[in-house]
């Protein structure tokens, strides 16, 4: 992947940096990002739109990995930012991310979160439901401030991916149903409000999707509705946001297209429908998360204990697990790994990489092929850059790992490792009865 190679010592390098050195310098578990790869992915999306002559915004869906430093890189690359909570918005504010390129998502944004969005004058709120319409109107009217919005719809497209991460089907907690009149009702409540500027529509059909057809169908469904609004209300959508969800390759079994292929497909649908219906070409917005950071991230672990179940399998246990990557336990997600300190030896030993959490299901990879394992080996698990650190927890009170960015032979710490002090920082010791009665 990306700038990974093997150096003269037989060590895996990322961004020109020896991963074994990184493990020694920063400790493990460690999440290492290949920043050149992130930049390359971002530019590829932007170039694809340029090449087909469509104005676009590529918003980084930052739930995949949110930190001040990645927001700074996203800004350097001219990306927009999709945030889904006050916490992500705050991270963007601290990172100095240009507010006009921040898009706010979520199916239950609170009054406080929406106020924060108005305070910061962000680029747009993606409205998810009728309660939110009322809240946004109330805030906009009381402040007499205009806010850009998109209407999020569920287009009724079922993309084949894990049930937990499919979102475009009708029975979804997200968005307005496109087919039963909800979307039209939302449109009528929003399109001619003095303090609301309706930019257009949004949909996101799911995540880790490989087939282009699902994106095509979604684009068609939304365009159809846009044309109806133009004909019935003389309202023209300036923006069509088709979400993220482009699949990436975790293992040999995954056969994704080049991410740009999905974008080309969407653009083609929009270009052809706008031409046939004489509709002004909208800006297309997309929101890739995984396809920007997924394969840019690699997790490093150190091998500790090992256990042989005779005739069945060899377990090797590493110093992290479901606490820093819950995807295998939660979705049955598959990954590949290597022995980073012995890349020059043959990876023929089949082992199960177990985490250190007190839970049998805490296995990171069922069937990994590594070098004959030894305590102290550094394991590199690939493609952990999306929804790894961002879904990490302190289960079993494990401190969260550190995160390092590598590029052109440089490395820098961008999220420090949690300490035991951090682990107890929110705890408040019991007070005595006397103290409580005071
Ligand atoms: N836009 C919206 C509205 C979304 O809900 C999502 C992801 C994205 C964009 C970005 O999707 P991506 O390009 O990253 O596939 N935790 C799960 C994935 C959950 C995705 C949630 N929404 C996982 O680890 O697979």
> What separation in Å is there between the alpha carbon of 86 and the centre of ligand 1?
17
What's the pLDDT at 156?
Answer: 84
What's the pLDDT at 260?
Answer: 86
What's the number of CA atoms in the CB half-sphere (13 Å) around residue 33? 27
- Nearest in space to 418 (alpha carbons), one of 402, 397, 396, 395: 402
Ligand 1 pocket test, candidate residues 125, 207, 260, 328, most atoms within 8 A of CB: 207
Ligand 1, residue 167: give the atom nearest the CA. 5
What's the pLDDT at 163?
Answer: 54
What's the pLDDT at 162?
Answer: 52
Query: What domains appear along the chain, each with residue ranges and CATH number?
Result: 5-32+295-423 (2.40.37.10), 54-288 (3.20.20.10)
Q: Is the CB of 387 under 6 A from ligand 1?
A: yes
Provide the strand spans (E) within 246-385. Answer: 283-286, 297-309, 313-318, 337-339, 349-354, 363-370, 378-382
What's the pLDDT at 165?
Answer: 53
Question: Facing residues of 57 across strands?
Answer: 285
Q: Catalytic residue numbers?
A: 358
* Cα separation, 276 vs 42, whole angstroms: 31
What's the pLDDT at 211?
Answer: 87
Q: Is the CB of 64 under 6 A from ligand 1?
A: yes
Give ipTM to 2 decimals.
0.99
Give the Cβ contact number of residue 371 at 10 Å.
Answer: 21
- Nearest in space to 11 (alpha carbons), one of 307, 362, 420, 343: 343
What's the pLDDT at 166?
Answer: 58
> What separation in Å is there between the alpha carbon of 167 and the centre of ligand 1?
9
> What separation in Å is there between the alpha carbon of 236 and the centre of ligand 1?
28
* Cα separation, 98 vs 120, whole angstroms: 10
% helix / strand / coil in the chain, to the nearest 5? 35, 25, 40
pLDDT along the chain (438 residues), means of 10: 90 98 98 98 96 97 98 98 98 98 98 98 98 98 98 84 59 90 97 97 94 92 97 98 96 90 94 97 98 98 97 97 98 98 97 97 98 97 98 98 98 98 97 95
- Nearest in space to 270 (alpha carbons), one of 329, 341, 199, 222: 222
Ligand 1, residue 333: give the atom nearest the CA. 25
């Amino acid at each position: 992947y990306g700038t990974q190679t093997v150096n003269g010592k037989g060590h895996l390098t990322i961004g020109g940096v020896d991963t074994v050195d990184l493990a020694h310098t920063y400790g493990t578990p460690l999440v290492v990002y290949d920043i050149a790869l992130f930049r390359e992915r971002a530019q590829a999306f932007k170039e694809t739109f340029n090449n087909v002559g469509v104005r676009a915004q590529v918003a980084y869906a930052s739930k995949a990995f949110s930190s001040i430093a990645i927001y700074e890189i996203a800004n350097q690359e001219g990306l927009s930012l999709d945030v889904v909570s006050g916490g992500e918005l705050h991270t963007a504010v601290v990172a100095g991310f240009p507010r006009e390129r921040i898009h706010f998502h979520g199916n239950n944004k609170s009054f406080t979160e929406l106020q924060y969005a108005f305070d910061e004058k962000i680029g747009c709120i993606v409205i998810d439901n009728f309660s939110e319409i009322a809240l946004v109107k109330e805030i906009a009217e009381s402040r007499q401030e205009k806010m850009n919005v998109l209407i999020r719809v569920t287009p009724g497209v079922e993309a084949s991916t894990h049930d937990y991460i499919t979102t475009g089907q009708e029975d979804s907690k997200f968005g307005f149903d496109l087919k039963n009149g909800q979307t039209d009702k939302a449109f009528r409540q929003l399109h001619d409000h003095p303090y609301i500027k309706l930019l257009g529509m949004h949909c996101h059909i799911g995540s880790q999707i490989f087939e282009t057809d699902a994106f095509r169908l979604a684009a068609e469904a939304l365009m159809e509705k846009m044309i109806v609004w133009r004909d019935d209300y003389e309202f023209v959508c300036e923006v069509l946001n088709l979400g993220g969800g482009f699949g990436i390759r975790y293992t040999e079994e995954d056969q994704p297209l080049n991410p740009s292929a999905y974008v080309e497909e969407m653009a083609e649908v929009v270009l052809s429908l706008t031409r046939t219906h004489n509709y002004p070409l909208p800006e297309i917005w997309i929101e890739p998360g995984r396809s920007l950071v997924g394969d840019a991230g690699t997790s490093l672990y150190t091998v500790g204990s090992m256990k042989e179940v005779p005739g069945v399998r060899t377990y090797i246990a590493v110093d992290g697990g479901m606490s820093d990557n819950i995807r295998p336990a939660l979705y049955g997600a598959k990954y590949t790994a290597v022995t980073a300190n012995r890349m020059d030896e043959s990876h023929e030993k089949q082992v199960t990489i177990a985490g250190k959490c007190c839970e049998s299901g805490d296995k990171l990879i069922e069937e990994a092929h590594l070098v004959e394992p030894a305590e102290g080996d550094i394991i590199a698990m690939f493609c952990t850059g999306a929804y790894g650190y961002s879904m990490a927890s302190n289960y079993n009170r494990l401190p969260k790992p550190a995160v390092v960015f590598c590029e052109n032979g440089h490395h820098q710490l961008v999220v420090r490792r949690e300490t035991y002090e951090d682990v107890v920082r929110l705890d408040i010791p019991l007070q005595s009865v006397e103290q409580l009665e005071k």
